[in-house]
Structure 1
Protein backbone atom coordinates (compact mmCIF):
# COMPACT_ATOMS: atom_id res chain seq x y z
CA UNK A 1 0.00 0.00 0.00
CA UNK A 2 1.45 3.33 -0.90
CA UNK A 3 2.15 6.05 1.63
CA UNK A 4 -0.75 8.25 0.55
CA UNK A 5 -3.33 5.48 1.14
CA UNK A 6 -1.81 4.59 4.50
CA UNK A 7 -1.96 8.21 5.65
CA UNK A 8 -5.55 8.54 4.48
CA UNK A 9 -6.51 5.31 6.25
CA UNK A 10 -4.73 6.35 9.45
CA UNK A 11 -6.40 9.79 9.37
CA UNK A 12 -9.86 8.28 8.86
CA UNK A 13 -9.31 5.76 11.65
CA UNK A 14 -8.11 8.45 14.06
CA UNK A 15 -10.99 10.76 13.15
CA UNK A 16 -13.60 8.04 13.62
CA UNK A 17 -12.08 7.02 16.96
CA UNK A 18 -11.98 10.64 18.16
CA UNK A 19 -15.58 11.24 17.09
CA UNK A 20 -16.86 8.10 18.81
CA UNK A 21 -14.85 8.92 21.93
CA UNK A 22 -16.21 12.48 21.99
CA UNK A 23 -19.79 11.27 21.55
CA UNK A 24 -19.33 8.77 24.38
CA UNK A 25 -17.93 11.47 26.67
CA UNK A 26 -20.82 13.82 25.90
CA UNK A 27 -23.37 11.09 26.49
CA UNK A 28 -21.90 10.27 29.89
CA UNK A 29 -21.51 13.88 31.04
CA UNK A 30 -24.58 15.28 32.75
CA UNK A 31 -23.19 18.79 33.29
CA UNK A 32 -25.63 21.51 32.30
CA UNK A 33 -28.35 19.17 30.99
CA UNK A 34 -30.95 20.06 33.61
CA UNK A 35 -32.35 23.31 35.02
CA UNK A 36 -32.04 24.44 38.58
CA UNK A 37 -35.02 25.53 40.63
CA UNK A 38 -34.62 29.26 41.23
CA UNK A 39 -34.29 30.21 44.88
CA UNK A 40 -34.25 26.58 45.98
CA UNK A 41 -33.07 25.89 49.52
CA UNK A 42 -32.99 22.20 50.42
CA UNK A 43 -33.00 23.04 54.12
CA UNK A 44 -36.42 24.69 53.74
CA UNK A 45 -38.16 21.65 52.28
CA UNK A 46 -41.11 20.48 54.43
CA UNK A 47 -39.46 17.18 55.30
CA UNK A 48 -42.26 16.38 57.76
CA UNK A 49 -44.39 15.69 54.65
CA UNK A 50 -41.82 13.32 53.13
CA UNK A 51 -40.87 9.71 53.73
CA UNK A 52 -37.18 9.69 54.61
CA UNK A 53 -34.95 6.77 53.66
CA UNK A 54 -31.26 6.64 54.55
CA UNK A 55 -28.97 4.44 52.46
CA UNK A 56 -25.42 3.96 53.73
CA UNK A 57 -24.15 6.96 55.67
CA UNK A 58 -26.79 9.25 54.14
CA UNK A 59 -24.24 11.98 53.49
CA UNK A 60 -25.72 13.14 50.18
CA UNK A 61 -29.35 14.13 49.87
CA UNK A 62 -32.10 14.20 47.29
CA UNK A 63 -35.82 14.91 47.14
CA UNK A 64 -37.89 12.63 44.91
CA UNK A 65 -41.48 13.29 43.88
CA UNK A 66 -42.88 9.83 43.40
CA UNK A 67 -46.16 8.08 42.60
CA UNK A 68 -46.73 4.65 44.17
CA UNK A 69 -47.87 3.21 40.82
CA UNK A 70 -45.03 4.69 38.74
CA UNK A 71 -42.72 2.06 37.24
CA UNK A 72 -39.92 4.55 36.60
CA UNK A 73 -40.16 5.63 40.25
CA UNK A 74 -39.51 2.03 41.26
CA UNK A 75 -36.37 1.98 39.13
CA UNK A 76 -35.10 5.28 40.57
CA UNK A 77 -35.74 4.02 44.11
CA UNK A 78 -33.75 0.86 43.37
CA UNK A 79 -30.94 2.91 41.78
CA UNK A 80 -30.70 5.26 44.78
CA UNK A 81 -30.49 2.31 47.13
CA UNK A 82 -27.69 0.79 45.03
CA UNK A 83 -25.78 4.07 44.83
CA UNK A 84 -25.75 4.33 48.61
CA UNK A 85 -24.61 7.04 50.99
CA UNK A 86 -27.69 9.12 50.25
CA UNK A 87 -30.67 10.35 52.22
CA UNK A 88 -33.78 10.19 50.05
CA UNK A 89 -36.80 12.33 50.91
CA UNK A 90 -39.76 10.85 49.04
CA UNK A 91 -42.62 13.28 48.54
CA UNK A 92 -45.64 11.17 47.66
CA UNK A 93 -47.07 12.74 44.53
CA UNK A 94 -49.93 10.57 43.25
CA UNK A 95 -50.66 11.71 39.69
CA UNK A 96 -51.62 8.42 38.05
CA UNK A 97 -55.23 8.27 39.19
CA UNK A 98 -57.39 7.42 42.17
CA UNK A 99 -55.59 4.14 42.83
CA UNK A 100 -52.38 6.11 43.28
CA UNK A 101 -54.06 8.51 45.69
CA UNK A 102 -55.46 5.60 47.75
CA UNK A 103 -52.11 3.79 47.79
CA UNK A 104 -50.22 6.98 48.77
CA UNK A 105 -52.73 7.64 51.55
CA UNK A 106 -52.41 4.07 52.87
CA UNK A 107 -48.61 4.27 52.88
CA UNK A 108 -48.53 7.74 54.44
CA UNK A 109 -51.03 6.83 57.17
CA UNK A 110 -49.48 3.48 58.05
CA UNK A 111 -47.64 2.99 61.33
CA UNK A 112 -44.30 2.74 59.48
CA UNK A 113 -44.47 4.76 56.23
CA UNK A 114 -40.79 4.31 55.28
CA UNK A 115 -40.92 0.54 55.68
CA UNK A 116 -44.26 0.30 53.85
CA UNK A 117 -43.00 2.51 51.02
CA UNK A 118 -39.97 0.28 50.49
CA UNK A 119 -42.03 -2.91 50.67
CA UNK A 120 -44.52 -1.54 48.17
CA UNK A 121 -42.01 -0.07 45.73
CA UNK A 122 -39.60 -3.04 45.85
CA UNK A 123 -41.87 -6.06 46.36
CA UNK A 124 -45.43 -4.81 45.66
CA UNK A 125 -46.46 -5.67 49.22
CA UNK A 126 -49.64 -3.70 49.82
CA UNK A 127 -49.68 -1.77 53.12
CA UNK A 128 -53.44 -2.25 53.42
CA UNK A 129 -55.87 0.32 54.74
CA UNK A 130 -54.74 1.85 58.02
CA UNK A 131 -57.01 1.48 61.03
CA UNK A 132 -58.51 4.62 62.52
CA UNK A 133 -58.40 8.17 61.31
CA UNK A 134 -55.76 9.36 58.92
CA UNK A 135 -54.46 12.85 58.24
CA UNK A 136 -53.40 12.66 54.61
CA UNK A 137 -53.18 16.44 54.21
CA UNK A 138 -49.48 16.02 53.39
CA UNK A 139 -50.60 14.82 49.95
CA UNK A 140 -52.23 18.20 49.28
CA UNK A 141 -49.17 20.02 50.60
CA UNK A 142 -46.93 17.85 48.40
CA UNK A 143 -49.12 18.73 45.39
CA UNK A 144 -48.68 22.43 46.17
CA UNK A 145 -44.94 21.95 46.65
CA UNK A 146 -44.69 20.11 43.35
CA UNK A 147 -46.52 22.92 41.60
CA UNK A 148 -44.15 25.48 43.13
CA UNK A 149 -41.14 23.51 41.87
CA UNK A 150 -42.70 22.84 38.46
CA UNK A 151 -43.02 19.09 38.96
CA UNK A 152 -45.04 17.86 36.01
CA UNK A 153 -44.67 14.10 36.41
CA UNK A 154 -43.01 11.33 38.33
CA UNK A 155 -40.35 10.68 39.16
CA UNK A 156 -38.94 14.15 39.54
CA UNK A 157 -35.62 14.40 41.35
CA UNK A 158 -34.37 17.57 43.03
CA UNK A 159 -30.77 17.50 44.18
CA UNK A 160 -29.22 19.45 47.06
CA UNK A 161 -28.10 22.26 44.75
CA UNK A 162 -31.58 22.69 43.25
CA UNK A 163 -30.98 20.75 40.04
CA UNK A 164 -34.38 19.41 38.93
CA UNK A 165 -34.53 16.27 36.80
CA UNK A 166 -37.89 15.28 35.35
CA UNK A 167 -38.08 11.54 34.76
CA UNK A 168 -35.79 8.60 35.35
CA UNK A 169 -32.15 8.95 34.34
CA UNK A 170 -29.16 6.65 34.32
CA UNK A 171 -27.63 5.64 37.62
CA UNK A 172 -24.28 7.17 36.61
CA UNK A 173 -25.99 10.53 36.05
CA UNK A 174 -27.71 10.39 39.43
CA UNK A 175 -24.31 9.70 41.00
CA UNK A 176 -22.72 12.65 39.15
CA UNK A 177 -25.50 15.02 40.18
CA UNK A 178 -25.36 13.89 43.82
CA UNK A 179 -21.60 14.47 43.87
CA UNK A 180 -21.92 17.87 42.14
CA UNK A 181 -24.59 19.00 44.61
CA UNK A 182 -22.46 17.90 47.55
CA UNK A 183 -19.51 19.99 46.33
CA UNK A 184 -21.60 23.18 46.30
Structure 2
Protein backbone atom coordinates (compact mmCIF):
# COMPACT_ATOMS: atom_id res chain seq x y z
CA UNK A 1 0.00 0.00 0.00
CA UNK A 2 2.80 2.38 0.97
CA UNK A 3 4.61 1.60 -2.29
CA UNK A 4 1.48 2.35 -4.33
CA UNK A 5 1.01 5.65 -2.45
CA UNK A 6 4.59 6.67 -3.18
CA UNK A 7 4.03 5.86 -6.83
CA UNK A 8 0.87 7.97 -6.93
CA UNK A 9 2.61 10.93 -5.30
CA UNK A 10 5.48 10.65 -7.74
CA UNK A 11 3.06 10.65 -10.67
CA UNK A 12 1.27 13.72 -9.31
CA UNK A 13 4.59 15.49 -8.92
CA UNK A 14 5.36 14.86 -12.59
CA UNK A 15 2.02 16.43 -13.56
CA UNK A 16 2.09 19.39 -11.17
CA UNK A 17 5.75 20.34 -11.55
CA UNK A 18 5.54 21.52 -15.19
CA UNK A 19 2.43 23.55 -14.34
CA UNK A 20 4.16 25.22 -11.39
CA UNK A 21 7.27 25.93 -13.45
CA UNK A 22 5.10 27.38 -16.21
CA UNK A 23 3.29 29.63 -13.75
CA UNK A 24 6.53 30.78 -12.16
CA UNK A 25 8.11 31.60 -15.52
CA UNK A 26 5.07 33.48 -16.82
CA UNK A 27 5.22 37.27 -17.03
CA UNK A 28 2.40 39.78 -17.46
CA UNK A 29 3.51 40.29 -21.06
CA UNK A 30 3.49 36.56 -21.84
CA UNK A 31 0.06 36.22 -20.24
CA UNK A 32 -1.18 39.16 -22.32
CA UNK A 33 0.02 37.45 -25.49
CA UNK A 34 -1.66 34.20 -24.49
CA UNK A 35 -4.91 35.93 -23.57
CA UNK A 36 -5.13 38.01 -26.74
CA UNK A 37 -4.27 34.91 -28.74
CA UNK A 38 -7.19 33.08 -27.15
CA UNK A 39 -9.57 35.99 -27.72
CA UNK A 40 -8.71 37.76 -31.00
CA UNK A 41 -9.99 41.32 -31.13
CA UNK A 42 -10.13 41.74 -27.34
CA UNK A 43 -7.41 43.99 -25.96
CA UNK A 44 -5.93 43.26 -22.56
CA UNK A 45 -5.28 46.81 -21.40
CA UNK A 46 -3.16 45.67 -18.46
CA UNK A 47 -2.08 42.36 -16.97
CA UNK A 48 -0.84 42.01 -13.40
CA UNK A 49 0.02 39.19 -11.07
CA UNK A 50 -2.20 38.63 -8.04
CA UNK A 51 -1.48 37.42 -4.49
CA UNK A 52 -2.80 34.01 -5.61
CA UNK A 53 0.14 32.07 -7.13
CA UNK A 54 -0.30 31.45 -10.84
CA UNK A 55 -3.37 33.69 -11.14
CA UNK A 56 -3.17 36.87 -13.21
CA UNK A 57 -5.48 39.88 -13.36
CA UNK A 58 -6.48 40.99 -16.86
CA UNK A 59 -8.07 44.40 -17.41
CA UNK A 60 -10.44 44.57 -20.38
CA UNK A 61 -11.95 48.05 -20.59
CA UNK A 62 -13.19 48.69 -17.06
CA UNK A 63 -13.75 44.99 -16.35
CA UNK A 64 -11.40 42.66 -14.50
CA UNK A 65 -10.88 39.03 -15.42
CA UNK A 66 -8.56 36.42 -13.96
CA UNK A 67 -6.63 33.78 -15.85
CA UNK A 68 -3.82 31.28 -15.47
CA UNK A 69 -0.36 31.59 -17.03
CA UNK A 70 -1.43 30.21 -20.40
CA UNK A 71 -4.94 31.69 -20.50
CA UNK A 72 -6.49 28.23 -20.61
CA UNK A 73 -9.07 29.27 -18.03
CA UNK A 74 -10.74 32.63 -17.42
CA UNK A 75 -12.69 33.67 -14.33
CA UNK A 76 -14.91 36.67 -13.75
CA UNK A 77 -15.95 37.61 -10.24
CA UNK A 78 -14.65 38.90 -6.93
CA UNK A 79 -11.22 37.88 -5.66
CA UNK A 80 -11.48 37.85 -1.86
CA UNK A 81 -8.62 37.90 0.62
CA UNK A 82 -10.01 35.37 3.09
CA UNK A 83 -7.70 36.44 5.92
CA UNK A 84 -8.59 40.13 5.84
CA UNK A 85 -12.05 39.70 4.27
CA UNK A 86 -11.07 42.33 1.68
CA UNK A 87 -12.64 42.35 -1.76
CA UNK A 88 -9.49 42.80 -3.85
CA UNK A 89 -11.48 43.11 -7.06
CA UNK A 90 -13.62 45.97 -5.73
CA UNK A 91 -10.55 47.77 -4.40
CA UNK A 92 -8.80 47.44 -7.75
CA UNK A 93 -11.84 48.65 -9.69
CA UNK A 94 -12.08 51.70 -7.43
CA UNK A 95 -8.41 52.40 -8.06
CA UNK A 96 -8.85 52.07 -11.83
CA UNK A 97 -11.85 54.39 -11.91
CA UNK A 98 -10.05 57.26 -10.16
CA UNK A 99 -9.57 60.45 -12.13
CA UNK A 100 -7.19 63.34 -11.55
CA UNK A 101 -9.75 66.06 -10.86
CA UNK A 102 -7.22 68.84 -11.44
CA UNK A 103 -6.52 67.51 -14.93
CA UNK A 104 -10.15 67.70 -16.07
CA UNK A 105 -10.75 70.41 -18.72
CA UNK A 106 -13.35 72.21 -16.63
CA UNK A 107 -13.57 75.00 -19.19
CA UNK A 108 -15.51 72.51 -21.34
CA UNK A 109 -18.17 72.05 -18.65
CA UNK A 110 -21.29 73.97 -17.67
CA UNK A 111 -20.57 75.41 -14.22
CA UNK A 112 -23.14 75.91 -11.47
CA UNK A 113 -22.23 77.37 -8.07
CA UNK A 114 -24.36 77.17 -4.93
CA UNK A 115 -23.46 78.90 -1.68
CA UNK A 116 -19.70 79.29 -1.30
CA UNK A 117 -19.08 76.57 -3.91
CA UNK A 118 -16.36 75.02 -1.75
CA UNK A 119 -17.26 71.40 -2.51
CA UNK A 120 -16.70 70.35 -6.10
CA UNK A 121 -17.94 67.58 -8.35
CA UNK A 122 -17.79 66.97 -12.08
CA UNK A 123 -20.60 65.04 -13.74
CA UNK A 124 -20.93 63.49 -17.19
CA UNK A 125 -24.59 63.85 -18.15
CA UNK A 126 -26.86 63.23 -21.11
CA UNK A 127 -29.64 65.84 -21.45
CA UNK A 128 -32.22 63.06 -21.86
CA UNK A 129 -30.97 60.88 -19.01
CA UNK A 130 -33.70 60.23 -16.44
CA UNK A 131 -31.22 59.37 -13.68
CA UNK A 132 -29.39 62.64 -14.38
CA UNK A 133 -32.63 64.53 -13.82
CA UNK A 134 -33.10 62.62 -10.57
CA UNK A 135 -29.61 63.71 -9.52
CA UNK A 136 -30.55 67.34 -10.19
CA UNK A 137 -33.54 67.02 -7.89
CA UNK A 138 -31.14 65.79 -5.20
CA UNK A 139 -28.64 68.57 -5.85
CA UNK A 140 -31.39 71.12 -5.13
CA UNK A 141 -30.99 70.10 -1.47
CA UNK A 142 -27.19 70.40 -1.41
CA UNK A 143 -25.50 73.70 -0.55
CA UNK A 144 -21.96 75.05 -0.87
CA UNK A 145 -21.15 73.08 -3.99
CA UNK A 146 -19.79 73.72 -7.46
CA UNK A 147 -21.06 71.35 -10.14
CA UNK A 148 -19.20 71.04 -13.43
CA UNK A 149 -21.40 69.32 -16.00
CA UNK A 150 -19.80 67.74 -19.04
CA UNK A 151 -22.54 67.46 -21.66
CA UNK A 152 -22.20 63.86 -22.79
CA UNK A 153 -24.93 63.09 -25.35
CA UNK A 154 -24.90 59.34 -25.88
CA UNK A 155 -28.57 58.35 -25.76
CA UNK A 156 -30.00 59.77 -28.98
CA UNK A 157 -29.52 62.37 -31.74
CA UNK A 158 -31.90 64.62 -29.81
CA UNK A 159 -29.42 64.55 -26.92
CA UNK A 160 -26.79 66.02 -29.23
CA UNK A 161 -29.18 68.78 -30.33
CA UNK A 162 -30.07 69.66 -26.75
CA UNK A 163 -26.41 69.63 -25.72
CA UNK A 164 -25.67 72.12 -28.50
CA UNK A 165 -28.59 74.38 -27.60
CA UNK A 166 -27.62 74.38 -23.91
CA UNK A 167 -23.94 75.03 -24.55
CA UNK A 168 -24.72 77.86 -26.99
CA UNK A 169 -27.29 79.53 -24.71
CA UNK A 170 -26.56 82.99 -23.31
CA UNK A 171 -26.86 81.58 -19.79
CA UNK A 172 -25.71 77.97 -19.93
CA UNK A 173 -26.31 77.17 -16.26
CA UNK A 174 -29.83 78.64 -16.17
CA UNK A 175 -30.81 76.93 -19.42
CA UNK A 176 -29.44 73.61 -18.18
CA UNK A 177 -31.29 73.85 -14.87
CA UNK A 178 -34.54 74.86 -16.58
CA UNK A 179 -34.39 71.78 -18.78
CA UNK A 180 -33.26 69.25 -16.18
CA UNK A 181 -35.52 70.46 -13.36
CA UNK A 182 -38.55 71.96 -15.10
CA UNK A 183 -38.53 70.35 -18.54
CA UNK A 184 -38.27 73.72 -20.30
CA UNK A 185 -36.91 72.91 -23.76
CA UNK A 186 -33.85 75.05 -24.54
CA UNK A 187 -34.34 77.40 -27.49
CA UNK A 188 -32.40 76.58 -30.62
CA UNK A 189 -28.92 78.06 -30.62
CA UNK A 190 -25.94 77.49 -32.87
CA UNK A 191 -22.25 77.89 -32.11
CA UNK A 192 -19.07 75.84 -31.94
CA UNK A 193 -19.40 73.29 -29.15
CA UNK A 194 -16.93 71.02 -27.34
CA UNK A 195 -19.29 68.02 -27.56
CA UNK A 196 -16.95 65.89 -29.68
CA UNK A 197 -14.05 66.69 -27.36
CA UNK A 198 -16.13 65.80 -24.30
CA UNK A 199 -17.24 62.53 -25.89
CA UNK A 200 -13.60 61.66 -26.52
CA UNK A 201 -12.75 62.63 -22.94
CA UNK A 202 -15.49 60.39 -21.60
CA UNK A 203 -14.31 57.46 -23.68
CA UNK A 204 -10.74 57.95 -22.46
CA UNK A 205 -12.03 57.88 -18.87
CA UNK A 206 -14.14 54.78 -19.58
CA UNK A 207 -17.41 56.61 -18.90
CA UNK A 208 -20.00 54.05 -19.96
CA UNK A 209 -23.21 55.62 -18.70
CA UNK A 210 -24.72 58.71 -17.15
CA UNK A 211 -24.61 60.23 -14.68
CA UNK A 212 -20.97 59.56 -13.84
CA UNK A 213 -19.96 61.64 -10.81
CA UNK A 214 -16.31 62.46 -10.19
CA UNK A 215 -15.41 63.85 -6.77
CA UNK A 216 -12.54 66.17 -5.89
CA UNK A 217 -10.42 63.27 -4.61
CA UNK A 218 -10.71 61.53 -7.98
CA UNK A 219 -13.14 58.86 -6.83
CA UNK A 220 -16.09 58.07 -9.05
CA UNK A 221 -19.68 56.98 -8.54
CA UNK A 222 -21.88 55.82 -11.38
CA UNK A 223 -25.55 56.66 -11.01
CA UNK A 224 -27.75 59.11 -9.14
CA UNK A 225 -26.85 59.00 -5.46
CA UNK A 226 -29.65 59.64 -2.96
CA UNK A 227 -29.27 62.74 -0.80
CA UNK A 228 -27.90 61.04 2.33
CA UNK A 229 -25.31 59.07 0.38
CA UNK A 230 -24.25 62.15 -1.59
CA UNK A 231 -23.83 64.25 1.56
CA UNK A 232 -21.83 61.48 3.23
CA UNK A 233 -19.56 61.18 0.22
CA UNK A 234 -19.02 64.94 0.01
CA UNK A 235 -18.23 65.08 3.73
CA UNK A 236 -15.67 62.29 3.38
CA UNK A 237 -13.84 63.86 0.45
CA UNK A 238 -10.96 66.21 1.12
CA UNK A 239 -11.40 69.19 -1.17
Scaled to the shorter chain, the TM-score interval is 0.7 to 0.9
Tell me the residue number matched to 1:76: 135
Q: CA deviation at 1:182?
A: 2.3
CA RMSD of aligned residues (A): 1.7
Higher alpha-carbon Rg: 2
Structure 1 residue corresponding to 2:231, chosen from 154, 165, 175: 175
Gaps of 5+ in 2: 1-90
Q: Structure 1 residue runs of 4+, over 3 Å off?
A: 36-39
Query: What whole-Å deviation, never above 9, does each CA across 1:118-165 have from its counterpart, x for those lacking one?
Result: 1111111111111xx5101x1111111111221101111011111111
Q: Structure 1 residues 112, 36: closer, same or farther in 2, change over 3 A? A: farther
Report how far residue 37 of structure 1 moved: 5.0
Distance, in Å, in 1 between the alignment partners of 2:124 and 2:160 is 14
2:215 equivalent in structure 1: 159
What is the alpha-carbon distance in structure 1 between the residues aligned to residue 96 and residue 172 of structure 2? 28
* Gapped regions of structure 1 (runs ≥ 5): 1-31
Q: Find the aligned partners of 1:143 and 1:43 in 2 and give their Cα distance.
A: 19
- Helix, strand or coil for the counterpart of 1:82? coil
Residue 109 (structure 1) aligns with: 168
In the alignment of these two chains, the number of paired residues is 148
Please list, as runs of the form range in 1=range in 2, the aligned pairs for 1:39-58 lying within 5 A after superposition.
Answer: 40-58=99-117
In structure 1, how many angstroms separate the alpha carbons of the residues matched to 2:100 and 2:198?
Answer: 16
Contact 2:99–2:214, Cα closer than 8 Å, also in 1: no
Identify, as 1 or 2, the structure richer in strand: 2
Give the helix-richer structure, 1 or 2.
1
TM-score normalized by structure 2? 0.58
CA contact under 8 A between 2:152 and 2:199: conserved in structure 1? yes
